[in-house]
Chain A
Amino acid sequence: MSLFGTGILKGLGYTLKHFLMTYAEDLKYLGRKSGVAGTARAVRRQNPKARGLVTIEYPKEKAPMPENFRNIPFLVYDTEKKEDKCTSCGICAKVCPPQCIWIVRTEDPVTKRPIPAPKDFYIDSTICMNCGYCAEFCPFDAIKMNLDYELGYYVEDAPDGRMVLNKSMLMKPDTFHAAIHPSDWAVEVEAKAAESAKPAKGAPAAKPAAPAAAAPAAAAPKPAAPPAAKAPGAAAPPGAAKPPGAAKPPGSAAPPGARPPPGAKPPGA
């Protein structure tokens, strides 16, 4: 049986130590880059090895988002083939748990047969639960999750005052995807390279150099594809909105589409 009150004193001592550590830890980094407010300091403070203060001065400094982080999805525009990656197969709409995705299919004006490109594509971002199933189960890598977490915008900027995102607001170039998801992009590029290497029949025009150059995808997201690669699949999406320029996110008038990703390099820089 210890003296009454020692437990409280111990606790107070611990609190004092905790308080002093918040200064001691930061003093160690005085004059260094991770000592001033910024991403480096945020990373250093929020590390399991750090002992001091963990809070950061948001929004002045922002912690970088992990690559796997998921928020409202976006559609990927293939800048190389100049077409939507989406084929409107509808898997994302089926796997979506809150059913916030709906797709309008393009029909051939003559034959009335469906064409594998979406006429329009909607995501009701107010009920999207950010589960990431659409991106995970998309067989064409046509829909990806964004890292952007600052989603607020003025009601008057949204179409008819709602946060239902349409195709032009959702569409982003694949350079943007490559910039925010470097390792996923590397896997995609590798898979594409493997696929194009496999059917070596037909045109034996050598193009193995292109994927190899693109392997460090984080650095050079846009593979330097030979001009021959463009020829076969160059069919522009009929009836759809005109594909915008590659380097600029489409629908730039709409606020959600216009913002560059946090912490990511401007695509195509």
Chain B
Amino acid sequence: MPGGAPPGARPPGAAAPGAKPPAAKPVAAAPAPVAAPAAPKPASPVAAAPAKSAAPAKAAPAAAIVNPDLEKVRAKFGDEVIKPAAFEGIVIADLTRLIEIATWIRDALRYDMLANLTAADYPKDNVIEVVYHVQRTTGGPTLCYKARLARPKGNDPTDWVPSLVPVYPGAEFQEREAYDMYGVRFEGNPDLRRILMWEGFAGWPLRKDWKEAYFEGDTKPFESRWPGGNHKLAEDRVPWEDNLNYPAGFDPLNYKSNPDGNLYDSMQANTASLNTGMGSHGAGMSPEDFEELKRAGILDSSEMKTDQIIVNMGPQHPSTHGVLRMVVKLDGETITDLKLVLGYLHRNHEKIGERNTWLHNIPYTDRLDYITGMVNELGYVTTVEKMMGIKPTDRAEYLRVLMSEFTRVASHFWSIGFLLNDLGAFFTPALYFITERDLIVDLFEGVAGSRMMCNYMRFGGVSRDLTPAQFERARELAFERLPRAIDELEYFLSDNEIVKARSIGVGYLPANRSIAYSLTGPCLRAAGVPYDIRRAEPYSIYDRFDWDVPVLYGADVYDRYRLRIMEMRESIKILQQCLNQMEHNSKPGDIQAGKKAYNHRVPAGQAYGRVETPKGELGFYLVSDGAQNPYRYHVRSSSFINLNSLKEMTIGQKIADSVVVLGSLDIVLGEVDR
């Protein structure tokens, strides 16, 4: 574990993963699997779970999501190792075999991409669960498996779990997040440091017993708002009396900050191997050339004593698209190492989500990736609908697709505009495209009431229908304005020699590496993998439209740019069909299935739902215990996980290109840091 050793070293010789976690015992003892954690009446889901290959009981619609491949895993590894989980997926009882099972699932069952990795805390069962969702890039549902760990006492981190980084390199950031939020330690993760919280933070913020500053209650609505009305403002409470935790022995008055010591040390550590004077690769000179020059006496590496330097790009940097810090190690102008410092925008979205009621969360999802609010809402709402077993009306489905695709076009306009900014075409193209995007958000403002924080989707419907005037405006956009704008965009930029010179071949990441890093969205499709969740695991009514998943094979910045243009054209196709069908196939005003409610109760269970946002796969892992609030609310954010691959894309490139590569990934920090 280079640098950043997490607090609490590994217990010597304890062989933690080998020991059967105590949590698994109730599973082995009872014939029925462990009850829904903290479920008030766990009878129905549990009854449905053992017969999980058969159609589950009607009582628990959430348990209906069962992947048939789970049977294959059980058949292969047997009941000793694999236990059925209460709801979705399986529990791997013998953690020493986790890597083996994960590798088998990847290779034999071809679940080649890690979709989601997170943890959940169940104090009632004294268990912390690590949840893995894997998927095939050829399509199909996700497969879920879990590891269970004994819940440690107090603020201690958990036992060690084998890291899945050797199997899926894309696990790195997600494991670090699980460590940061739950204190789950992953053995073999190359850089197990905190990722969103600061280094000196004490405690594990997503554990159920952790309380935030200004803590008021475990769940909303808070009692003090009504009927008592005796609310005190947060500012009036003094937070540091009982709400703030410092690490043991920490003296805030005499604290000298060296938060990045570990980070810099870990980057210095591997300098020696690269210290050849010139960059070992990518510096425009192959090692053979280098040797040649040395032999000719032109270059003597013993004389060229160059140092590699560490440069902080960001957090306040115009090209980091927000508050992101890229710590790069430079050999001349060439990047030899890169690490990201995240979390400047961290607000513990997931904890807020677990305090909120189900309905409260919809406007909060707008704030994840604030460019694509409508699609975020769609992801959350469809996942909850999956758990509740309700279906929106046709009109609502059309409106959802309409808004999602408008959002996709707007987001791609935005992203291309800012990519051009990063390339040096400062704001001329960006403003042209922002004009077009503005017309789209004007439509959102008219329909939903807000330009970006739309809060439009509801469980089983949407909040408002289009008026005839807005419908005409949408038609004008979809049939006239936007196609013309996309054509102009392409005419304006695609042939530009500077754009080409700066982007072709830059940020190359081949398909197999992209998949390994869990890269999703346009970046993956530009590497030749036709993976789009609208096709891979269709949701909403995308099967009613005739459209293609565009693919390009260059896997560089230029193809990512071109792919976004192609995707906009496909979105326009969907929009046009949607508007045409909507006029004839749906009843205006019929936008809400069932009665509109605010106090939803979602049946106990869990679900992983996902949608294709303009940036990639946005997943929601939700656990309900039957109450008004989600028990666990996890956001699998595409921007965050796409950043995993930034290091490999940029190493060997010039520093100026790292800006472009970051621009081509199209991240939004609201979603990265959550």
Interface centre among A48, A90, A105 (most CB of B within 10 A): A48
A131 CB–B CB distance under 8 Å: yes
Select one of B225, B364, B438, B473 contacting A102, CB under 8 A: B225
Residues on B with C-beta less than 8 A from A103 are 225-227, 229
Report yes or no: A48 in contact with B481, Cβ–Cβ below 8 A.
yes
Chain A's closest residue to B222 (CB) is A99
Report yes or no: B496 in contact with A68, Cβ–Cβ below 8 A.
no
Annotate B426-455 by CB proximity to A: 1 below 8 A, 0 otherwise.
001000100100110010011111100101
Residues on A with C-beta less than 8 A from B596 are 137
Report yes or no: A97 in contact with B360, Cβ–Cβ below 8 A.
yes
Report yes or no: B455 in contact with A131, Cβ–Cβ below 8 A.
yes
Report yes or no: B453 in contact with A66, Cβ–Cβ below 8 A.
no
A6 CB–B CB distance under 8 Å: yes
Residues on A with C-beta less than 8 A from B473 are 48
Residues on A with C-beta less than 8 A from B445 are 66, 68-69
B36 CB–A CB distance under 8 Å: no
Annotate A18-38 by CB proximity to B: 1 below 8 A, 0 otherwise.
100000000000000000000
Report yes or no: B229 in contact with A131, Cβ–Cβ below 8 A.
no
A120 CB–B CB distance under 8 Å: yes
What CA separation (Å) do A164 and B235 show in the bound complex?
A: 12
Report yes or no: A14 in contact with B222, Cβ–Cβ below 8 A.
no
Residues on A with C-beta less than 8 A from B587 are none
Annotate A61-80 by CB proximity to B: 1 below 8 A, 0 otherwise.
00000101110000000000
A162 CB–B CB distance under 8 Å: yes
Select one of B227, B363, B455, B496 contacting A8, CB under 8 A: B496
**Which listed segment binds A: B44-52, B128-136, B486-494, B661-669?**
B486-494
A129 CB–B CB distance under 8 Å: yes
Q: A2-B495, A7-B497, A164-B233 are in contact. Are A68 and B464 (CB under 8 A)?
A: yes
Report yes or no: A68 in contact with B598, Cβ–Cβ below 8 A.
no
Report yes or no: A133 in contact with B226, Cβ–Cβ below 8 A.
no
B476 CB–A CB distance under 8 Å: yes
Report yes or no: A7 in contact with B233, Cβ–Cβ below 8 A.
no
B284 CB–A CB distance under 8 Å: no
Report yes or no: B229 in contact with A48, Cβ–Cβ below 8 A.
no
What CA separation (Å) do A137 and B221 show in the bound complex?
A: 15
Report yes or no: B476 in contact with A49, Cβ–Cβ below 8 A.
yes
The majority secondary structure among interface residues of chain A is: mixed
Residues on A with C-beta less than 8 A from B230 are 102
Residues on B with C-beta less than 8 A from A91 are 598
Annotate A223-239 by CB proximity to B: 1 below 8 A, 0 otherwise.
00000000000000000
Residues on B with C-beta less than 8 A from A97 are 220, 356, 359-361, 363-364
Which residues of A in the span 81-108 have a Cβ within 8 Å of any Cβ on B? 88, 90-91, 93-97, 99, 101-105
Interface centre among A11, A93, A129 (most CB of B within 10 A): A11
What CA separation (Å) do A162 and B234 show in the bound complex?
A: 12
Report yes or no: B493 in contact with A11, Cβ–Cβ below 8 A.
yes
Select one of B222, B477, B495, B598 contacting A7, CB under 8 A: B495
Chain A's closest residue to B489 (CB) is A14
Q: A18-B432, A102-B224, A129-B363 are in contact. Are A124 and B497 (CB under 8 A)?
A: no
A interface, CB within 8 angstroms of B: 2, 4-8, 10-11, 14-15, 18, 46, 48-49, 54, 66, 68-70, 88, 90-91, 93-97, 99, 101-105, 114, 119-120, 122, 124, 129-133, 136-137, 145, 162, 164, 183
Contacts beyond the supplied A15-B428, A97-B220, A97-B359: 11 A-B pairs with Cβ under 8 Å: A8-B497, A14-B492, A88-B226, A94-B599, A95-B359, A96-B221, A102-B231, A103-B227, A133-B363, A133-B598, A145-B449
Name 9 interchain pairs, CB-CB below 8 A, sorted by A: A6-B495, A15-B428, A93-B225, A97-B360, A99-B220, A101-B225, A103-B227, A137-B596, A145-B449
